[in-house]
């Protein structure tokens, strides 16, 4: 039997066909996410749900064509962001993505931003891009459509549409990413919602991860969507309890499983499907920092020699393979150019520049080192019992797959040779595995 796993990313949408017995990927399809919408506001990052759904339906159709029985469909996608749906489950707004920055705008009558004000008001750590922060801003600025009956993540929306439901359901992994979610009780905090003047009727019912929420028109069961961080973990690791997962994509994340809830400053504690939690260090920069350097190099080439060609990542990666100039005189780069969840106004820096080390090669090495340093600081913040049981480092994401120098630097800093998952479509595979558990094709989330 075959399972379909779907991942709605910020820049791409992926689907895989996975053999439920061997857990091997039979077929994979990736389409560019062309749903981005232009905005007159520099702080607004929105996408068109209809375009996303069109791509999802195309992928499902292609994966289902001339194949053996499809046993089920699992869905994951970019976390934190929200859209609004009406009473029939139709989208009545754009998708306000996790990159949206309205939560950093000043709260009326205060010097604090929306996210900071709401954090103080409720006691929950909230950042711009979190669904509840976005929703409060929209409420206070008359941006919630009058037809809106519920809000949900884009993965919840896709699962709802595929399952022919009139209303969305949400599991704890996605619910926690919206904010104002009690991580111990695994339910939305009604007092916090009331303090923010959020109507509880707008919040989807919380369902079990992987549970069947409906069927497609062809009778294929669809599981409740899960968060892409948890899906990537499921799709990448073999031993849940002893593996450290490091992912570098648009952002970067460091994740490890814990049995019981803990709270650590600077780290996120996120529900894990089937019980327990992931302790996560999440960087807003990650691969975007490397992209920033590439954009700078391309602008220099364009201005001075009229270059208007392809991206320069391949050349940068080759440069990274070479030794840095003037050993011992490295350029030191803080790659937090896009801020942090705790301090959105934080900015990066390039330091220790001298007459002998201000070179392209050293800048490339400095940016890679800075990306790893931020992730290693997260690792050092993990409680000692968690670090002590780590036996394997799994490194995923295109930022790692395409850069051998980055992999070597990871080994030098973390002390483990990174294992690269066999499948490039880690989150899609994780969604398929989640569905397999929900449909009884796998015993549980710890024995996949």
Burial of 196 (0-12, 13-18, 19+ CB in 10 A): buried
Question: Digits of tens for pLDDT over the chain (448 positions)?
Answer: 899 999 999 989 999 999 999 999 999 999 999 999 999 999 999 999 999 999 999 999 999 986 678 999 999 999 999 999 999 999 999 999 999 999 999 999 999 999 999 999 999 999 999 999 999 999 999 999 999 999 999 999 999 999 999 999 999 999 999 999 999 999 999 999 999 999 999 999 999 999 999 999 999 999 999 999 999 999 999 999 999 999 988 788 999 999 999 999 999 999 999 899 999 998 988 889 999 999 999 999 999 998 887 889 999 999 998 876 655 568 999 999 988 877 878 999 999 998 888 999 999 999 999 999 999 999 999 999 999 999 999 999 888 888 999 999 999 999 999 999 988 899 999 999 999 998 888 878 887 6
> Distances from the Cα of 270 to the Cαs of 12, 399, 403, in angstroms?
24, 24, 29
**Residues 434, 226 contacting (CB under 8 angstroms):** yes
Domain residue spans of the chain: 2-230+425-438
Nearest 5°: the CA angle 408, 255, 284 is 80
Q: What pLDDT is recorded for position 147?
A: 98
Specify the pLDDT at position 159.
98
Pairwise CA distance, residues 448 & 436, whole Å: 9
Report the alpha-carbon angle 48-49-54, nearest 5: 105
Measure CA of the first residue to CA of the last residue in the chain; give whole Å.
15
* pLDDT at site 92: 99
Q: How many residues does the chain have?
A: 448
Strands 181-182 and 187-188, sheet pairing: antiparallel
Q: Which of 130, 266, 260 is nearest to 192 (CA)?
A: 130
Q: How many CB atoms lie within 10 A of CB 38?
A: 6
The two structure tokens encoding residue 440: 């009884």
From the list 139, 159, 144, 45, the residue with the least C-alpha distance to 86 is 144
Smallest CA-to-CA distance from 256 within 372, 172, 340, 382 is with 382
Distances 217 to 57, 58, 64 between C-alpha atoms, Å: 12, 15, 13
CA-atom Rg of the chain in angstroms: 22
Give the model's pLDDT for residue 324: 67
**What is residue 342's predicted lDDT score, i.e. its pLDDT?**
78
pLDDT of residue 198: 98
CATH fold group of domain 2-230+425-438? Nucleotidyltransferase; domain 5 (3.30.420)
């Amino acid at each position: 039997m075959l399972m379909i796993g779907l991942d709605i990313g910020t820049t791409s949408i992926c689907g895989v066909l996975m053999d439920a017995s061997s857990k091997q990927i039979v077929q994979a399809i990736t389409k560019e996410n062309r749903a981005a919408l232009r905005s007159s506001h520099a702080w607004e990052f929105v996408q068109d749900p209809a375009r996303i759904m069109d791509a999802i339906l195309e992928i499902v159709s292609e994966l289902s064509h001339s194949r053996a029985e499809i046993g089920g469909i699992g869905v994951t996608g970019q976390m934190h962001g929200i859209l609004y749906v009406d009473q029939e489950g139709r989208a009545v707004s754009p998708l306000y993505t996790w990159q949206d920055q309205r939560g950093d705008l000043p709260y009326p009558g205060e010097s604090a931003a929306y996210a900071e004000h709401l954090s103080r008001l409720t006691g929950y750590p909230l950042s711009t891009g979190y669904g509840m922060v976005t929703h409060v801003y929209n409420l206070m600025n008359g941006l919630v459509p009058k037809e809106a009956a519920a809000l949900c993540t884009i993965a919840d929306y896709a699962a709802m549409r595929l399952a022919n439901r009139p209303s969305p359901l949400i599991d704890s992994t996605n619910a926690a990413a919206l904010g104002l979610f009690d991580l111990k009780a695994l339910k939305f905090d009604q007092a916090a919602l009331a303090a923010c003047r959020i109507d509880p009727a707008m919040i989807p019912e919380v369902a079990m991860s992987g549970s069947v929420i409906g069927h497609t028109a062809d009778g294929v069961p669809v599981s409740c969507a899960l968060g892409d961080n948890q899906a990537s973990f499921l799709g990448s690791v073999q031993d849940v309890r002893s593996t450290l997962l490091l992912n570098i994509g648009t952002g970067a994340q460091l994740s490890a499983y814990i049995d019981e809830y803990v709270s650590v400053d600077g780290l996120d504690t996120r529900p894990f499907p089937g019980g327990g939690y992931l302790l996560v260090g999440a960087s807003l920069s990650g691969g975007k920092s490397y992209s920033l350097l590439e954009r700078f190099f391309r602008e220099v080439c364009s201005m001075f020699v009229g270059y208007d060609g392809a991206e320069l990542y391949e050349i940068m990666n080759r440069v990274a393979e070479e030794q840095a100039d003037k050993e011992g005189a490295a350029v030191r780069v803080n790659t937090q150019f896009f801020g942090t969840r705790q301090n959105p106004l934080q900015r990066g820096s390039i330091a220790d520049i001298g007459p002998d080390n201000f070179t392209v090669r050293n800048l490339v090495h400095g940016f890679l080192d800075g990306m790893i340093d931020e992730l290693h600081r997260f690792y050092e913040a993990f409680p000692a019992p968690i670090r002590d049981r780590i036996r394997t480092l799994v490194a995923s994401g295109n930022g790692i797959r395409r850069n051998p120098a980055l992999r070597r630097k990871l080994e030098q800093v973390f002390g483990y040779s990174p294992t690269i998952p066999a499948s490039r479509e880690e989150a899609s595979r994780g969604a398929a595995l989640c569905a397999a558990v929900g449909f009884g094709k796998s015993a549980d989330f710890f024995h996949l």
